[in-house]
Chains A and B, each alone.
Chain A
Amino acid sequence: MTMTDWLLADSPSSRLQASLGNGYRMLRMLMRNPLTVIGALILLALILAAMFAPWIAPHSPLGQNLGQRLLPPSAEHWMGTDELGRDIFSRVIYGARITLLIVALVAVISAPLGLLIGAISGYFGGWVDKVMMGITDVFLSMPKLILALAFVAALGPGIENAIIAIAITSWPAYARIARAETLTFRNSEFISAMRLLGASHTRIIVGHVLPLCTSSMIVRVTLDMAGIILTAAGLGFLGLGAQPPLPEWGAMISRGRAFILDQWWVATMPGFAIIIVSLGFCLLGDGLRDVLDPKQGGKS
């Protein structure tokens, strides 16, 4: 029996085999779509760039060399140099760390928060649901970018505050999804069976409701990543996100603005990094939706 046969067995003999087999099937479905593979590769490249930045980057991201200011792209400096003689390619590579940090932290803060609020709201129903969803709807109908700007203005510029501001404005969409998902099975028999067995509400929500919401949540979070990256870059561009000398892509574009007409590469290059990474998340999210959440996919 080969490995594949074992993974695809119709009657798995253990829980491990069943879940591994399930994962393998999904992976095969994901791999069938070339665009999804491209998206996954872009994301992989981002993670590798962030992990091995000191080995990949040919120069230091912060080391200034005023003798080599504003050089155009060449074999020595692939993306040219900026106004302080720093190698732009190296800074873009190190910038992957900041971007990854921002998207990871925003996802880690806002997705569980939205998930919990939505699941509790849908599970209990009644006035709990009304109040919580009322608040969620108020947040949902706010302009997210403006709200994030106002929060950062109040908290003060900086990468931590940018992350907090983006997280505060992105949980409501997740709460809505988790609630809708919870409603579809809150009256089903396995929940009633759990209640009869005397399981507490906490146990039912944490152990049984939340896991069932995760797949649609993963899809949504992946699709939202592009927006989060753009917002973070926008905050950086306005000088409210990561502060100099951190090589944040949005802030790099902002500094290159002064030289845009004569030294176009300073502002343009980091923009390509933003586009490629955002595109990667979009493509991966589209593919994940087709596999994990077929109800939503297919149409658009």
Chain B
Amino acid sequence: MSTTLSSHALRRSAGALGGFAVVTLLTFLGLMAITFFIGRVVPIDPVLSVVGDRATQEQYDAARVAMGLDRPLVVQFFSYVGDVFRGDLGLSVSTNRPVAEDLARVFPATLEMATIGILIGVGMGVPLGVWAAARQGTWVDQLIRVFALLGYSVPAFWLGLVGLVIFYAGLGWVAGPGRVDIFYEGLVPSRTGLMLVDSALAGDWEVFWNALDHLILPATILGFFSLAYIARMTRSFMLDQLGQEYITTARVKGVSEWRVIWAHGFRPIRVPLITVIGLSYAALLEGSVMIETVFSWPGIGNYLTVALLNADMNAVLGATLVIGAVFILINKLSDVLYRILDPRSR
């Protein structure tokens, strides 16, 4: 009996994973179609930027053929897709290095900030949401509602600036922009690219605390935006559960309120929460673009905005592609996780 059940569950998981792979692949293709299209509508003539505007018509045509721009669009698209899968995103005009190399260098900084951000968002958002649902209609509930609304209406870059003025310049509680103080730069060998992990591995706690000092403000501000969404969703899931009859039964039986909420009410909402957390993690990677600009954080967002201002299209499209791919992957992964974990589909 139990073997058939588990083999059934296994088959279901395999089916979900297969569907996930197909959908994700198609979405990636869609993403590449969009970046390819954007690359084509740029008003800058790519041939002209290579040969210069004094080139003769023959030179121009030869360069055009050499760059493969005379081929049909479909062929060009598939050769672009091939390049992307081989990890070739072209050369960045501003750094004069392959875009893929640049991105690999800056991505860990973004990952570090977004991860600390989501930890703060989940660590505070889930308890706050449960609390608001348990005290529905009281001032706690109202306060959390206002908090959540602010999360939808405050510009991240503005909050970053105000945070710098108050906590860095005013109170001096945290360090300023950048990842570490300038004299700590390059002290620890980069193994993972994550400053906290690298310094801990090297046993250099001075650098570790300095990096944390720099990280805490941008990560908290980033976390605030996920907190708003997570708390709101947790509250609404929790209210659904607390209205069910089994909760009333538990209360009638004299189960303590703490156990009613955490052991009975919270347990079933863990699965839908995974999707919510996955979505907000992906959103944080995107949201870090604005925060990184304000905090001069050397991550992918900062790289993207610098490339935007320099009209460095290869770098812009490469960064878009990478952020988009990670975003899609987390999105679809939390989707498939939900389908595997949800006991109702068993």
Contact = CB atoms under 8 A, between A and B. Distances in A.
Interface of A: 134-135, 137-139, 141-147, 149-156, 226-227, 230, 233-234, 237-240, 250, 253, 257, 260-261, 264, 267-268, 271, 274-275, 278-279, 281-283, 299-300
B153 interface: yes
Contact of A150 (B157, B236, B316): B316
Given A142-B34, A226-B152, A271-B162, A150 B317 contact: yes
Interface stretch (B36-44, B77-85, B216-224): B36-44
9 closest A-B pairs by CB:
A138-B30, A278-B153, A271-B158, A300-B236, A143-B286, A279-B153, A150-B320, A143-B327, A154-B38
A234 B155 contact: yes
Contacts of A240: 308
Nearest to A230: B155
A227 B152 contact: yes
B304 interface: yes
B26 interface: yes
B331 interface: yes
25 contacts: A137-B27, A144-B286, A145-B286, A145-B289, A146-B286, A146-B320, A146-B323, A146-B327, A147-B34, A147-B324, A150-B35, A151-B38, A152-B308, A153-B311, A237-B155, A253-B157, A253-B161, A257-B161, A268-B158, A271-B154, A271-B158, A274-B154, A275-B150, A281-B153, A282-B153
Contacts of A153: 38, 307-308, 311, 313, 316
B323 A260 contact: no
Contact of B236 (A144, A253, A299): A299
Contacts of B271: none
A260 B165 CA distance: 7
* Interface majority SS (helix, strand, loop, mixed), chain B: helix
Nearest to B232: A300
Interface in B101-160: 149-150, 152-158
A55 B324 CA distance: 46
Contacts of B27: 137-138, 141
* Interface majority SS (helix, strand, loop, mixed), chain A: helix
B155 A274 contact: yes
A71 to B, nearest CB: 18
B62 interface: no
B227 to A, nearest CB: 16
Contacts of B323: 143, 146
B293 interface: yes
B304 A146 contact: yes
A269 to B, nearest CB: 10
Contacts of B171: none
Interface of B: 26-27, 30-31, 34-35, 38-39, 41-43, 149-150, 152-158, 161-162, 164-165, 169, 232-233, 235-236, 239-240, 282-283, 285-287, 289-290, 293-294, 304-305, 307-309, 311, 313, 316-317, 319-320, 323-324, 327-328, 331-332
Contact of A154 (B39, B287, B305): B39
Nearest to A240: B308
B159 to A, nearest CB: 8
Given A146-B286, A261-B169, A155 B155 contact: no
Contacts of B319: 146
A240 to B, nearest CB: 7
A233 B308 contact: no
B160 to A, nearest CB: 10
Contacts of A268: 158, 161-162, 165
Nearest to A152: B308
Contact of B328 (A135, A142, A145, A230): A142
Given A150-B320, A261-B165, A274 B308 contact: no
Which one of A143, A257, A283 has the highest number of Cβ atoms from chain B below 10 Å of its Cβ?
A143
A149 B304 contact: yes
Given A138-B31, A271-B158, A278-B152, A238 B311 contact: no
A216 B205 CA distance: 55
Contact of A149 (B30, B43, B162, B308): B308
Given A150-B317, A153-B308, A143 B155 contact: no
A282 B154 CA distance: 12
Contacts of A237: 155, 157, 290, 293
Which one of B30, B39, B285, B332 has the highest number of Cβ atoms from chain A below 10 Å of its Cβ?
B30
Contacts of B155: 230, 233-234, 237, 250, 253, 271, 274-275
B272 to A, nearest CB: 13
Nearest to A270: B158
Contacts of B294: 257
